[in-house]
Structures are given as structure tokens and as C-alpha cells.
Amino acid sequence: MKNISRIKKWGCALLVLGFLSLASQALQAEEKKTEPPRAGTITRIVVIPFQAVMPEDGSSSVRCPICGSINPGGSVVSGAESVLEEMFTDKLRELNTVEIIPSDKTEKIYHQVSSGSAKLSLTEKALKVGNELHADVLAVGFVYRYRERVGYAYSTEHPASVAFEIHLISVKDGTTLWRGAFDKTQRSLTENVYEVFSFVKGGAKWVTASQLTKLGVDEVFRTFSGFGP
């Protein structure tokens, strides 16, 4: 009888172990079904803090720190670079295949790289930040002119004027994947009958520099075709 009792106990134990094993396998299978898509199809983007670049020595033009292009410059109000950066980052967030690395991480690493690598070019610093954060693409932007409107929506002494340039750069090889440039001073239809963009899209009103920047970001982003093959 004792042997029979032991056999029953072992049988029960084996049944329990078998059940636990099946339950574990089922749970693992369910986890595989519900896990999020692999990050291989997601483009990780690091947005390097946008910068203001203003003319020096009485010049009216500026040179792009990335590609060397010459652009019309002017005065830039404080904080304009942050306005452009936020607007462009919002456009990137609309892409469902993009992961934007948090700005606090980017700013921390960028500060460390900049303070410890003074002799590096901006491109080299940016690529170093991208590698540190395991990014696929860098977004780098510059404000060349950001002049606020003087006046009101329906009457102005001086219209808003904005110029900027944005690059998307491959961290892997440093090549430019996309470049968007914008240079606009709002004109009324009586000044230029072809000036439909900034006046009609501005609601037939004199827009602010921020509104003109938003129109510009929307315009240049239409030329971006994505990160796919």
C-alpha cells in the first residue's frame, strides 16, 4: 500500500510539473504574440539643439556650418532657434516609423561632447552625439534670420521675415539625407501679385514670425520623402 501511495504522489507531482510546463509555454507564446514590433523598422533620430547663425563684420549673408552654403542672414530674436526646433520636431513626430531620442538626453551628451571636443567641427560633434545615443539620423537646424512683425494683423510697418535651414544626416556615414531651406519676408498682394504663399495662407493677414516659421516648416517638409529605401 505504501508503494501505491508513493506512486500516486509521484504521479500527481509529474502531472503538476507537466501542467506548469505547458502553462509556461503558453505564456511565452502569448508574450511573443503581443510583443511590440522590433525596432529594426524604426528610425532613431537625435535632434541636435538648433542654433542661430548671424552675419559677422557687417556682412548680410551667413554660411551653413554643415554644408557651407551661403544664405541671406539678418537679426535673430532670442529663442527663435527653440521655436524652429520644436516645430520641426513636431513634424517628425507625425511619422509613425520614427523614434525621437528625448531632448534631455541629447542636451546632456551634446554638452559633454562640446566641452570636451572644442577642436571638432559641428558635424563631427553631432555625429559623435549620434553614436553615443545609438541614433540612426541627426536633425540639425540653423536660424539665419528671424525678424518679428512690427504692427498688427491687418496693418503693419515692417512684416515678419524668417530664414532657416535644416539637415537630416546619416549617423552611419555622415551623408546628408535631406536638406530643407526657407527664406521668406511676407509681402502684400499689392506689392507682389505672386506672393500667395505667405499672405493668403496667413489668412490674408500680416503674420507673426512664429506663424511664418510654421508655414515655412510645413513647406520644406513637403519635400521630405521618408527614410525608407
Which sequence spans correspond to the domains of the chain? 1-35, 39-221
79-113 per-position pLDDT tens digit: 999 999 999 999 999 998 999 999 999 999 999 99
The reported pLDDT for the residue numbered 194 is 44
- The residue to which cell 521630405 is assigned: 224
As a CATH number, domain 39-221 is 3.40.50.10610
Three-class DSSP category at 151: strand
Q: Helix H segments across the chain?
A: 2-34, 80-93, 103-116, 122-132, 196-200, 209-221
Burial of 160 (0-12, 13-18, 19+ CB in 10 A): buried
Q: What's 79's DSSP letter? A: T
Model-level pTM?
Answer: 0.74
pLDDT of residue 150: 65
Question: Looking at residue 118, what DSSP letter applies?
Answer: T
Mean pLDDT by 10 residues, the chain (229 residues): 48 42 43 39 95 89 94 94 97 94 95 86 95 97 90 59 97 96 76 48 72 95 84
Q: Angle 158-159-161 (CA atoms, 0-180°, nearest 5)?
A: 120
Q: 62 φ, ψ to 5°?
A: -135, 160
